[in-house]
Amino acid sequence: MRTLVVVVLVLVTVTVVSVGFALWWAARMLRRLRCFTVRLVDRWTLTVKARLLLGSARHVAAAQLQLHTGLDQTRRVLNDASRRNCPLGDLPGIFRRIEQLAASADADLRMLDGDRDPLQRARLADAVRRSEELAAMAASIRGTVSGVHADLQLDGFGLLQRDLDVELRALRAGVAAVR
């Protein structure tokens, strides 16, 4: 009887833990899916605005699209490089600062979109310039990380070539010694 109670308690515990894990995993996946969907809809909306609208609204949408695309690409490059144990130095910290400034520039672009006042248009031009500079900074980070990764691969390629040359020379010397 006591064994049966222990077995039932173990089964109940395993079931509760399994259900809890399944619910946690499902909530996590739904949260990620929602974030991905929101980002996809925002990107699609900006793309449509950048192609269909006229005037300053088109420039604003194009600047926002360029900024968002550049930041997303840089984020992916940095994540990939960190997974590959590529030396990054302080680039992730600098990128976080760029993301903070980009959020501010994006808010400025949204706030100034559609204003007809000459003063507001000047501020809009300044906000567009800042967003383009931030996108260029993100692109330079991507270029730097790609260059470091390529250098690391070239170092590995050079070492492999050197090891191959040593082995080929040793093999040829062994064959020549046998003759």
Q: Does residue 131 carry a pLDDT above 70? A: yes
Transcribe 38-97 into DSSP letters.
HHHHHHHHHHHHHHH--THHHHHHHHHHHHHHHHHHHHHHHHHHHHTT---TTHHHHHHH
For a pLDDT cut of 70, what percent of the chain falls above it?
A: 96
Cβ atoms 149, 85 nearer than 8 A: no
Whole-number mean pLDDT of the chain? 85
Question: Residue 170: inside a domain, yes or no?
Answer: no
Question: pLDDT, tens digit, for every residue of 143-158?
Answer: 888 888 777 776 667 7
Residues 17 and 85 in one domain: no
Q: Does residue 140 carry a pLDDT above 80? A: yes
Question: Residue 167: inside a domain, yes or no?
Answer: no
Cα separation, 95 vs 89, in Å, equals: 11
> What is the domain count for the chain?
2
Question: pLDDT, tens digit, for every residue of 42-99?
Answer: 778 878 877 887 877 788 888 899 999 999 999 999 999 888 888 888 889 999 999 9
Rounded to two decimals, what is the model's pTM?
0.67
Residues 116, 39, 145, 101, CA torsion sign: positive
Cβ atoms 116, 60 nearer than 8 A: no
Estimate the crossing angle of helix 56-83 against helix 118-178, to 10 degrees. 30
Retrieve residue 84's tokens. 């590959």
Domain that holds residue 16: 1-41
Angle, CA of 48, 54 and 59, to the nearest 5°: 75
Residues 35 and 58 in one domain: no
Residues 29 and 57 in one domain: no
Confidence of residue 113 (pLDDT cuts 50, 70, 90): confident
